[in-house]
Chain A
């Protein structure tokens, strides 16, 4: 069976085609703001201009007739962006006369992670621009055991990067600077049970910049503090749920230092650490295609009239039948 998936909840418009075994096609068209952060309307504008071109590229690599179903990310995400994706998916499904499957974006991150690693029943750490969650399966649902109480870690990193005058995307630049940092500057370390908070850390880091501290030291201190917070709540979740696998997913997961910190934490508890390949870590169409395929095989199908976007779609709203 072959599924096509469209992702576009935020900055990255992406279309992927998969079968049960592998990713067949993956085409991306990331939205890069000329300055500042991502404006939902501008990102949506980008998606609507690009979706035709991206699909054209995909269909130059695979015959549309071979596709068995159309999956799309139905939420959570930015409303205007989601609507472009949903419209494209409905059009394709009607035109090709194929079933439509609406997919939860967070669930897709976790499922593609399990698919491409050996993780069986992991605690998943999902870190991206908008989301930071500790997720694990309990019964027939994935449940969120801990999460950010304010902004996502990726968003926090971007805010700091912009404040220090670094161009978009800020994440990789902060990572590079941090490698040259030597001096640890004290920052608030905010862990509440299994929940986290990042906005205070950003403010404190920005103050160091105003006070003339070196960018390198600020980036280093910021990463060490926030990544340790993520490791701590991950460890607490593993201890609490008595699980011994950790799966890192989401765009921030590409950060090598974050991977290292989580790997060390896992080693010390005798747990296994997993991370999917980089191209499937951030938002991508393949994860939507794969999860749509999994869902369709277990009886899920989204009728056109039920395919409205769900900007606040939570992972625990989906029953896991596999």
Chain B
């Protein structure tokens, strides 16, 4: 049995013990451009997953990397979005602080990209991750996660608070939180 998920960029195939993430050919891109992008992104993602592990963040172990394919360990557990609470949200804050300290911006933080398994939170998708030490990038990273909380939970305000607490406790900077406030004020993000 294989479960297949098709995202915007990649296809995820979930097998019994492992998971394949494949960046399939995009017909809309000319071949030279397409191959270059898929290869580069696949390599970058695999590298960032390893770096995140070294920074103390739980991720699946990478079993193999081919041109456009990453094969990784399958993490069995609950999707974080289904078991979310304040305590776990605080944990997520700690995880994000660790990533940011290592200069990793996740780029797509949502409870859907995390699995809770045997007392640990695994971050499973680094498809949009990149390297940066900039305050802006970190602020946007936090903002994306908070937006996803807002969309999914009625008690998002308390979850947000726990998340930011965790972030500060594990070395996230006040400066990033200040920038987050600024980002929230910008036109496109204002909730009405």
Contact = CB atoms under 8 A, between A and B. Distances in A.
A203 interface: no
Contacts of B107: 192-193
Contact of A224 (B9, B30, B128, B187): B30
Contact of B188 (A225, A261, A314): A314
For chain B, what secondary structure do more than half of its interface residues adopt (helix, strand, loop), or is it mixed? Answer: loop
Interface in B30-69: 30, 32-34, 36-37
A239 B187 CA distance: 24
A189 interface: yes
Interface in B117-157: 128, 130, 144
Interface string A7-31: 0000000000000000000000000
Interface in B96-132: 107-108, 128, 130
A44 interface: no
A265 B26 contact: yes
Contacts of A193: 107-108, 128, 144
B8 A235 contact: yes
Please classify the interface of chain A as helix (H, G, I), strand (E, B), loop, or mixed, using the class held by over half of its residues.
helix
Nearest to A146: B188
Interface string A291-322: 00000000000000000000010101001000
Interface size class on chain A is: 20 to 34
Name the interface size band of chain B. 20 to 34
Nearest to A228: B29
B9 A228 contact: no
Contacts of B192: 141, 316, 319
Interface string A251-273: 00000000001101100110000
Contact of A189 (B7, B8, B33): B33
B157 to A, nearest CB: 19
A238 interface: yes
A232 interface: yes
B28 A225 contact: no
A195 B74 CA distance: 31
Given A193-B107, A193-B128, A265 B28 contact: yes
Contact of A238 (B8, B27, B34, B188): B8
Top 8 nearest A-B pairs (CB, nearest first) are A239-B8, A236-B8, A264-B28, A265-B28, A184-B32, A228-B29, A261-B28, A144-B188
5 contacts: A143-B188, A228-B29, A231-B29, A265-B26, A316-B188
Interface of B: 6-9, 26-30, 32-34, 36-37, 107-108, 128, 130, 144, 187-188, 190, 192
